[in-house]
Amino acid sequence: MQLKYPLNCYDEAGRMKPPLFVYILLLFVCRGLLVLIVSLSFTQDSERLLRIFYPFPSHFYLSLIPLAPALLALYLLSKRTILWQKEHHGWFKSLPFSLYCALILDGGIQIFILKETHFFFSLTHGVSLLFIACGLVYMKKSGYMRNLVEDWTRP
């Protein structure tokens, strides 16, 4: 059998491993949840720490919206062996869709927050939008991701 990618791109069962950039994208989209967890771990000034990253409470709540598709994608990535052993291969077709949804929702929220501030320059929002654009281009152009989903959906 001819392998399409080097041997380090496959796990012990012979299926393709997800790339590191997908995990980085998921951590980036889940940054609202990560900030919440870190702020709750500091019991003295948790609200002040939360306001450093999100000055307005509505911006924090908006940042939690893209969590649903991102957590679905993270669940599919983490339980891929169990789902594959139980022959639930169809679930993996939703992986790129959930990543697209998470990135597009996050980008829309960033643009909405910029619109609220009358597009005043913000380095954090600019870097966020740049990273989201890079993630969307990667998802669209990556042959590895197409082959990964094809490999995982094949019994």
Query: Domain limits of the chain?
Result: 17-153
103/45 Cα distance (integer angstroms): 31
Q: Which amino acid is at 124?
A: T
3-state secondary structure of 39: helix
How confident is the model at residue 1, as a pLDDT? 61
Query: Which one, of 55, 93, 95, lies nearest residue 72 by Cα?
Result: 95
Over residues 31-82, the pLDDT tens digits come to 999 988 988 888 787 788 888 888 888 989 999 999 999 999 999 999 888 8
21: pLDDT strictly greater than 80: yes
| Residue 16, beta-bridge partner list | 10
Instruction: For residues 90-109, give the mean pLDDT.
Output: 93
73/104 Cα distance (integer angstroms): 14
Q: Which of 68-77, 82-91, 130-139 comes out lowest in average pLDDT? A: 82-91
Contact 75, 102 (CB under 8 A): no
Task: Give the pTM.
Answer: 0.89
* Other beta carbons within 10 Å of 35: 17
The pLDDT > 90 percentage for the chain reads 49
**Higher confidence at residue 133 or residue 57?**
133
